[in-house]
Structure 1
Amino acid sequence: MGAFDMLRIANSSLGMHQTWLDALAHNIANANTVRATGEDAFQEQMVVATARPEGGVDVSGIELGDAQGVLTYAPDSPLADADGNVRLPAMDMSVQMTSLVQAQRGFQASVQVTKTAQDTYTAALQIGQR
């Protein structure tokens, strides 16, 4: 592994975890999005990550959740159909929150690797200056 491979790998991880955090924040913000039964429900975003052969990770795509959602009886909603139903996202908030913690921890670990690598390279440069 070359001198800057650690930084390159950590940087790719930071980018992937940031994308994951953004998708989770979007999902959580829209967890209670109500739609008419004739429309698609809000679809959760799921980040697809792929390992790089030389180390690191890339975001290879974003998959969307179920557009059918969940029919819920809410007759007071202005979007309710004749039967009083609306369409809500088919998302499990406990899964979203668990994924949020995982993404935060991964981001924090990548930041720590970057900081440690920078400190190591700085120390090596200072040795050469003495």
Structure 2
Amino acid sequence: MADQPLTIFQVAGRAMSAQLVRMNTTASNLANAGGVASSEAEAYRTIKPVFQTEYDKATGLATVNVKQVVQAGEAPTKRYDPTNPQADADGNVWENAVDETRELVDMMETARGYQNDVQVMNTAKTLVLDTLKLGQGS
């Protein structure tokens, strides 16, 4: 089964799955924006998926898979805020390292990518249906 050539539907489906992982990591990053922690180790760091491209020799089609999800971006920022209940013994809190602007841009790019993958799937479906209609002889 693994030696079977990929179809355009499989390629688009895998791309859609990868975009969903990207959207979920972006949503997680945005959900943690503005938060603070008692230590640098406890502070949230931005996460990003790492994509891997695989080529199908039989068809020449390329697919994308999520290889792993990694921490990326800046380190948490220390801020003096002794009134914060999460402040450490020195009165410092660590702000979660999330660049909200970058995350919103990523979310828009991801949504566009997913939309493009859906369009590929719909176009392929239309072409298959039109090809079947040709065989029926209308």
So what's the TM-score if we normalise by structure 2? 0.83
Letter in 2 for 1:26: S
CA distance in 2, matches of 1:79, 1:14: 39
8 Å contact kept, 2:15–2:63:
yes
> In the TM superposition, what whole-angstrom CA distance separates every residue of 1:83-111 from its partner, at most 9, and x where no partner exists?
32111112211111111111111111001
Structure 1 residue 120: Cα displacement? 0.8
Partner letter of residue 85 of structure 2?
P
The match for 1:126 among 99, 119, 133 is 133
2:46 is the counterpart of 1:44: yes
Note the C-alpha offset of 1:128: 1.6
Give the structure-1-normalised TM-score. 0.88
Among 90, 97, 106, the residue aligned to 2:113: 106
Give the structure 2 partner of residue 115 of structure 1.
Answer: 122
Count of residues in correspondence between the two structures: 128
- 8 Å CA contact 1:37, 1:81 repeated in 2: yes
Alignment correspondent of 2:19:
17
Aligned structure 1 segments of 4 or more residues deviating by more than 6 angstroms: none
Displacement of 1:67 in angstroms is 8.9
Q: Which runs of 5+ in 1 are unaligned?
A: none
RMSD of equivalent CA atoms:
2.0
- Alpha-carbon displacement from aligned partner over 1:21-64 (angstroms, at most 9, x marks no partner): 01000100111222112642112111000111221101000001
Deviation at 1:4, TM superposition (A): 6.4
Equivalent residue for 2:59?
Answer: none
Percent identity over the alignment? 27
Name stretches of at least 5 consecutive residues in structure 2 with no aligned partner.
57-61
